[in-house]
Structures are given as C-alpha cells and as structure tokens.
Amino acid sequence: VTMDITPETPKVYADRRGLTLALRALIENAFKYSSLHSPVAITVSNLDTNEVAIAVADEGIGIDAADQARLFEPFVRLEKEESAPTLYPGLGIGLTIAKFVLDRHNGRIDIKSTPGQGSTFTLYLPNK
C-alpha cells in the first residue's frame, strides 16, 4: 500500500466510525479484487471545490461500465454466482454503506474502472 497525503489538506469534520467503515470497504475491496502483491494506492488531496478527495486505486479485475451503477445497491455481487462464495467472500453491502456514509456527510463517491486494469474509488467530503 502506498499513501500520499497532500500537506495542505484541511481537516474534515466527519463521523469517525462512519468514515472508517466507508474507507475500510474501499480498501478491503481493492485487496479482495486484486492479485497478491498488486499495488493499492491511497491518495488524500484538497480540491478547489472546497472538498477533500480520498482515492483508493487498485490494479485489480476492474468493473464493466454497465455494472457500475449497480455497485451501490445492497447485496449486489457482480461476479459470477458460482465463483462468489469461494473467490470473493462478502455480503455485497460494503459499498452500500460507503455511499450511505458519504450521503449523510453531504459528500459523494465516484468510480473510474476498466475491466482487466483496475478501479479507483474516490470519496469527496466537504471540508467545511
């Protein structure tokens, strides 16, 4: 894991538990859907839009554009049903929780992903 935090990033006032749950979901997914020793990068930066961006990027399996809108629905598992119990354990609620937390903080979550190349999930939180 690499981590890059822009020095001038301001404090964000947020529910610590909720934000921890959201970040944990993104980081766990980055590792879960990547091969062993595949890099995961976490970047924290201040934006001109009065937001702090926290990005979690991986070089994992990626997500098809047609499936990305369904990612935040509860209990959605995008992998093939026969592989889900063994290859990628989980209930399919991590991203649902992450989106709920961001919505409660007047923030948002964004995804950029290419199948076979990886994904970047970015949390945007107001810094005021």
pLDDT in tens, 63-77: 999 888 888 888 877
Contact 21, 116 (CB under 8 A): no
Domain count, the chain: 1
Q: What is d(CA 100, CA 32) in angstroms, rounded to the nearest whole number?
A: 21
Residue 48 confidence class, pLDDT cut points 50, 70, 90: confident
Q: What is d(CA 29, CA 60) in angstroms, rounded to the nearest whole number?
A: 9
* CATH code at position 72: 3.30.565.10
Whole-number pLDDT of residue 78: 67
Residue 89 confidence class, pLDDT cut points 50, 70, 90: low
CA-wise closest residue to 89 among 101, 79, 74, 104: 79
Assigned token pair, 98? 């992450």
Q: What is d(CA 35, CA 51) in angstroms, rounded to the nearest whole number?
A: 32
Backbone angles phi, psi at 60, to 5 degrees: -85, -150
Pairing label, strands 51-58, 40-47 = antiparallel
pTM for the whole thing? 0.88
* E strand intervals along 6-60: 40-47, 51-58
Domain of residue 94: give its range.
2-7+12-126
Buried b (16+ CB within 10 A) or exposed e, 8-22: eeeebebeeebbeeb
* Structure confidence by residue, pLDDT tens digits, 96-127: 999 999 999 999 999 999 999 999 999 999 98
Which residue would you say has higher pLDDT here, 49 or 15? Answer: 15
